[in-house]
Amino acid sequence: MANGIGSMGFLEPYAISHQPSAIFMLHRFSKFVAACTVLLILAGSLVTSHGAGLSVPDWPTSYGWNMFTFPPSMWVANIWYEHGHRLVASTVGFLTIILAIWLWIAEPARHWLQRLGVIALAAVIAQGLLGGLTVLYLLPPAVSTAHAGLAEIFFCLTVAIALFTSPDWKKGYANETSPVSGVDDARLRRLATGTSIAIYCQILVGATMRHTGAGLAIPDFPLMFGGVIPDHWNAGIAIHFAHRLGAIIVAAMAIRSAIYIWRSHTDRPELASPALLLLILILVQVVLGASTVVSRLQPWINSFHVVCGALVLTLSMIITLRSWRYRFGDVQVRPVGQRSEQGRQAGDVGDVGQVGQIGPVA
Amino acid sequence: MRLRNAWVGVLGIALAASVAACGGSQETSNTSAAPSSPAATPGGQKVDTANAGSVKGKVAFDGTAPKNEAIKMNADPVCLKEAKGPQSQETYMVSSDGKTLGNVFVYVKDGLGSYVFDTPTESAKIDQKECRYHPHVFGMRVGQPLEIVNSDPTLHNIHAMPKANQEFNNGQPIQGMKMTHTFTSQEVMVPFKCDVHGWMNAYVGVLPHPYFAVTKDDGSFELKDLPAGTYTIEAWHEKLGTQTQSVTIAAKESKDVNFTFKAAATTTN
């Protein structure tokens, strides 16, 4: 099967490099890192929602103490959120170091995945630096928004790594009844990719709104100053309006993608299931967004809105990556130990997913 | 190669951040400076206090004052212990009869021309005590040191958010810690907040002259030693906005200027 991106080194065929149990452990660990990143995003959003971003005025120290020796007795009031965020971030950073090393060791045949681990590590380091800089420079909106935007990218990286290390991904979502690796559907790829990009843009607008204090620039919901559109404008109102408009656009795109998946690929649970979940999460997200305004930015509602947005993004990204799975290299069911001619020519030794049953043929 | 370049970039950012971090820790020391601007025009005339007059008056309140927001200090057990009894914000400091308004900053906004004034050497002071700022509203002079004290056995950060002066945010984790700061530009008002204890806030008016006052609980104020002239007097309240009046006083004359804030009023000039 043609492999358009493989020539760039991004889609080299898989190789059995380690014992299956170790590979599954890597997958589980990458899922653990992704889960911890959800907690990190929650911790970060709680900082902003509580206005606690400057409650620890120094960085990387905390009130002059080393971050890790800052006395717990001093974790009072808003410091709990800011210092807790720093500690969770440090933990995720440490876990990412392990993940990057583990990927480097365990995935020698998938160089692109090794590099993805390094990129994730670089992202989390840059994220930490951005977090520090925004404290030292007293929360400039541009830096804080960049911090929020990079957080989403890092979360996407951890989820993508978890996906790429999953047995199903390695199998190409092929099974005994559907021995085809993924689906080759250009329209699906366009829809899914467009939706993911739109969600990320929407999150950036939301982050800009949060960090410029425009969360209540339009104080009513669902109307805006009593009308369908605002009757007066300033920068805050424009950003807030863009976020509400973006929500409609993103929801419409997600619904369009989901309907297309259900109509065209109902036999593909790796697409149909997340499509359903995506719609549910979008509904929850809209309710949380409305509740955030109605509750006058209640910190926990506001924070769950941020976290749900991140989950919507990564879920859409999973659908997108699965829609592109076909282009990552073809896989089909074949007898145990059989290697394709092309695979042999390429030096490939087979796939690791469902070892002994599934392997690449191109 | 690309990867190597990326790492060099990351290390560069890390180095820059380290330098920035060092700068940040220095700022937590006792003194921090801001961009300079002259407190008074050199060569101007000094006020002849023997022939000076005064402006005095009251700030009245019309309507029913909103109830001050209750403060819950549960987030910090030390604050709970230090600040005994129910706590509330100091936004609307109305008299017992509800007719006058305290904590209003009244000052000469315009009309002093080329008069010059010596900058006080003694410090203005703001104290963090019982997890509140004392005073809540006050005035000080351009170039005058501001002593910031933490009298609480808990930690605070003092975060000033001026527009004309330099913003700063310093931690005071230990009881008894002091620092000084000097504002170098006129600004009415500079808000202070503690990001640890979100309920703590204060306001300071920074002026190049001594003609300012904060109304007492009975709404009264007095601006003494004003030379003869025509002045714009402004009254500022943290929620109710500002009001201005013009007044002309002759030598040794005292005039009354009264303001009235309404409950739902906004800025009026």
Per-residue pLDDT of A278-310, as tens digits, reads: 999 999 999 999 999 999 999 999 999 999 999
| CATH number of the domain enclosing B157 | 2.60.40.420
Q: Do B16 and B40 sit in the same domain of this protein? A: no
Q: Do B5 and B22 sit in the same domain of this protein? A: yes
H/E stretch holding B53:
strand B53-62
Query: What residue type is assigned to position B14 of the chain?
Result: A
- Residue A107 maps to a domain: yes
Contact A161, A99 (CB under 8 A): yes
- CB-CB: which of B17, B25, B169 is closest to A61? B25
Per-residue confidence (pLDDT) for residue A19, from 0 to 100 = 60
Rounded to an integer, what distance in angstroms lies between the CA atom of residue B114 and that of residue B227?
A: 12
Q: Do B56 and B163 sit in the same domain of this protein? A: yes
Q: Does A76 touch chain B (CB under 8 A)?
A: yes
* Mean pLDDT, residues A319-326 taken together: 93
Q: What is the DSSP string of A60-116?
A: SSBTTB-TTTS-GGG--TTHHHHHHHHHHHHHHHHHHHHHHHHHHHH-TT-HHHHHH
Contact A106, A14 (CB under 8 A): no
Within a 10 A sphere around the Cβ of B74, how many other Cβ atoms?
9
- C-alpha neighbours within 13 Å on the C-beta side of residue B224: 2
pTM check: above 0.90: no
CA nearest to A5, candidates A335, A341, A324:
A324
CB-based contact A136 B23, cutoff 8 Å: yes
Mean pLDDT of chain A: 87
Q: Does A61 touch chain B (CB under 8 A)?
A: yes
Rounded to an integer, what distance in angstroms lies between the CA atom of residue A316 and that of residue A310?
A: 10
Which residue does chain B place closest to A50, by CA atoms?
B198
Q: Do B93 and B123 sit in the same domain of this protein? A: yes
Q: Residue A330: which pLDDT band, with cuts at 50, 70 and 90?
A: low
Is the pLDDT at A33 greater than 80? The verdict is yes
* Mean pLDDT, residues A25-44 taken together: 98
Contact A217, A237 (CB under 8 A): yes
Q: Does A138 touch chain B (CB under 8 A)?
A: yes
Residues of B in contact with A63 (CB under 8 A): 155, 171, 173
Contact B56, B254 (CB under 8 A): yes
Query: How open is the CA angle A267-A273-A276, to the nearest 5 degrees?
Result: 120
Q: Do B88 and B21 sit in the same domain of this protein? A: no
Q: Do A167 and A184 sit in the same domain of this protein? A: no
Q: Do B82 and B191 sit in the same domain of this protein? A: yes
- CB-CB: which of B170, B195, B196 is closest to A76? B196
- Residue A362 maps to a domain: no
Backbone dihedral angles phi then psi of residue B214, each to the nearest 5 degrees: -115, 130
**Cβ pairs bridging A and B (under 8 Å):** 91
Is the pLDDT at A181 greater than 50? The verdict is yes
- Residue B267 maps to a domain: no
Q: Does B15 touch chain A (CB under 8 A)?
A: no
CA nearest to A50, candidates B196, B33, B76:
B196
H/E stretch holding B269:
none
Q: How far is CA B122 from CA A140, A279, B141, B182, B222, in A?
A: 34, 65, 11, 12, 21
CB-based contact B169 A78, cutoff 8 Å: no
Q: Do A301 and A215 sit in the same domain of this protein? A: yes
Residues of A in contact with B13 (CB under 8 A): 126, 129
Residues of A in contact with B1 (CB under 8 A): none
Residues of B in contact with A54 (CB under 8 A): 157, 159, 169, 195
Q: Which domain holds residue A290?
A: 177-329
Backbone dihedral angles phi then psi of residue B133, each to the nearest 5 degrees: -90, 135
Q: Do B16 and B48 sit in the same domain of this protein? A: no
Q: Does A139 touch chain B (CB under 8 A)?
A: no
CB-based contact B173 A118, cutoff 8 Å: no
CA nearest to B154, candidates B78, B236, B261, B51:
B78
Q: Does B167 touch chain A (CB under 8 A)?
A: yes
Q: Which domain holds residue B254?
A: 33-262
Q: How far is CA B234 from CA A41, B175, B229, in A?
A: 46, 37, 16
The tally of domains found in chain B comes to 2
CA nearest to B204, candidates B195, B194, B193, B218:
B193
Contact B229, B124 (CB under 8 A): no
- Residue A87 maps to a domain: yes
List Cβ neighbours of A327 (8 Å cut-off, separation of 6 or more): A3, A4, A5, A11
Is the pLDDT at A343 greater than 50? The verdict is no
- C-alpha neighbours within 13 Å on the C-beta side of residue A81: 26
Q: Do B217 and B131 sit in the same domain of this protein? A: yes
- Residue B268 maps to a domain: no
Residues of B in contact with A61 (CB under 8 A): 21, 25
CB-based contact B3 A77, cutoff 8 Å: no
Q: ipTM of the predicted structure?
A: 0.79
Per-residue confidence (pLDDT) for residue B43, from 0 to 100 = 63
CA nearest to A103, candidates A120, A124, A86:
A120
Per-residue confidence (pLDDT) for residue A172, from 0 to 100 = 87
Residues of B in contact with A125 (CB under 8 A): 10, 14
The tally of domains found in chain A comes to 2
- Residue A2 maps to a domain: yes
Residues of B in contact with A47 (CB under 8 A): none
Q: Do B14 and B77 sit in the same domain of this protein? A: no
Q: Residue B20: which pLDDT band, with cuts at 50, 70 and 90?
A: very low
- Residue A232 maps to a domain: yes
Q: Do B12 and B82 sit in the same domain of this protein? A: no
Q: Do A98 and A216 sit in the same domain of this protein? A: no
Q: Do B164 and B142 sit in the same domain of this protein? A: yes
- Residue A141 maps to a domain: yes
Q: Do A344 and A324 sit in the same domain of this protein? A: no
- Residue A361 maps to a domain: no
Q: Do A2 and A132 sit in the same domain of this protein? A: yes
Per-residue confidence (pLDDT) for residue B44, from 0 to 100 = 80
Rounded to an integer, what distance in angstroms lies between the CA atom of residue A193 and that of residue B191?
A: 46
Contact A325, A172 (CB under 8 A): yes
Helices marked H in chain B: 2-27, 77-82
Q: Do A161 and A213 sit in the same domain of this protein? A: no
Q: Do B5 and B41 sit in the same domain of this protein? A: no
Q: Do A194 and A140 sit in the same domain of this protein? A: no
Q: Do A233 and A89 sit in the same domain of this protein? A: no
